[in-house]
Amino acid sequence: MGEPLRTLETPDERTLAYATWGDPEGFPVLGLHGTPGCRLNRWPNEDVYTRAGIWYVTHDRAGYGRSDRHHGRSVADEVADVAALADELRLDRFGVTGGSGGGPHSLACAALLPERVVRAICVVGVAPFGAPGLEEDDWLAGMDNENVKEVRKALAGEDVLTPSLETLQKQWEERVAVDPSTVLDDFDLSESDRAELARPEAQERIRETTFEQNVNGVGGWVDDDLAILKPWGFDVGTISVPVLVRYGLTDVLVPPAHGDWIAASVPGCLVEIETSAGHLGENPEEQIAADARWLSEGIPPEGAQPQSHSL
């Protein structure tokens, strides 16, 4: 059985909360949750990880859940926390996967921990905001208005963003308490994403993460938004470890232009484009198994293709 709450002290004397799932003797994979999220953002059927032969380790990124805030952090600052977690668990080599707001943090680990990261996955990850990434109009194009409003408030500054996210968190908790599948009802989601939200396992995960992710305030969410919109602290063009980039063409939370940019910018990456999927993917248990084979053995998922172009 997994352990849903363990803690360690980072070298800069912050508490970092983490959880473990699957086979402790399996290949270690560090999963980086999205924005917002927490260590409970995993597939509730733990047997999926055990059957895949992996030890899946998640953590509350700084400021989320039970982890102390790292105010003013950059995307690159996550790498030190990942290294501290790997040290705590005595992991010399491991895989990393991150989705949505966790995608850039997975890329940061690939770029800055090449001696320890075997392979990495970036799923529906956002691109850098502004040069050398996507300029503002292109970054926001195709994005649902609810996310655009959040971005605008983040650009206005922390004092504007914080109360807005506090209100949003309260709204989500009220909805999830009644019906987890309605958490994103304000968004014009694709049919694929609506179908994923209807899965019982997805609803269980939403229920758990929603009430845990900002249990000590929205500081982690605030810091995430601000970190994603400022320079990340590393160059994706320096990544040398194998990376799989996956994104869906019906995603309105992180539109496919972001995936296009990442796929064109990470040297030598594999690219998996899901034509009907949105932000939440499709066939989660099959995807977990395929990702495990890629991270542990280097076997590409069916449909993944080598990078074919560059910016």
Q: What is the CATH number of the domain that holds 166?
A: 3.40.50.1820
Confidence at 308, pLDDT banded by 50, 70, 90: confident
In a domain, 298, yes or no: yes
Token code pair at residue 198:
């209807």
Q: Which residues contact 194 (CB under 8 A, 6 or more apart)?
A: none
CA distances from residue 257 to 57, 124, 174, 199, 210 in whole angstroms, order as listed: 30, 10, 33, 27, 28
Confidence at 201, pLDDT banded by 50, 70, 90: very high
Angle at 257 between CA 255 and CA 239, to 5 degrees: 115
> The pTM is what?
0.98
In a domain, 8, yes or no: yes
Mean pLDDT of the 231-256 span:
98
Token code pair at residue 55:
């030890």
Residue 311 pLDDT > 70? no
Residue 217 pLDDT > 90? yes
User: pLDDT value at position 59?
Assistant: 98
Mean pLDDT of the 178-204 span:
98
In a domain, 311, yes or no: no
Confidence at 1, pLDDT banded by 50, 70, 90: confident
Give the chain's domain count: 1
Residue 246 is part of which domain span? 3-306
CA distances from residue 271 to 14, 83, 217 in whole angstroms, order as listed: 36, 26, 36
**Alpha helices, DSSP H, located in 97-216:** 103-112, 136-140, 145-156, 158-178, 191-197, 200-212
Residue 183 pLDDT > 80? yes
pLDDT in tens, 72-116: 999 999 999 999 999 999 999 999 999 999 999 999 999 999 999
In a domain, 38, yes or no: yes
DSSP three-state, residue 59: strand
Token code pair at residue 182:
């309605």
Q: Of the candidates 97, 62, 86, which has an alpha carbon nearest to the alpha carbon of residue 293?
A: 97
Confidence at 225, pLDDT banded by 50, 70, 90: very high
Residue 306 DSSP code: E
Separation CA 120–CA 97 (nearest Å): 6
In a domain, 214, yes or no: yes
Q: Which residues contact 76 (CB under 8 A, 6 or more apart)?
A: 108, 112, 232, 233, 234
Confidence at 55, pLDDT banded by 50, 70, 90: very high
Between strands 54-59 and 15-22, the pairing is: antiparallel
User: pLDDT value at position 309?
Assistant: 56
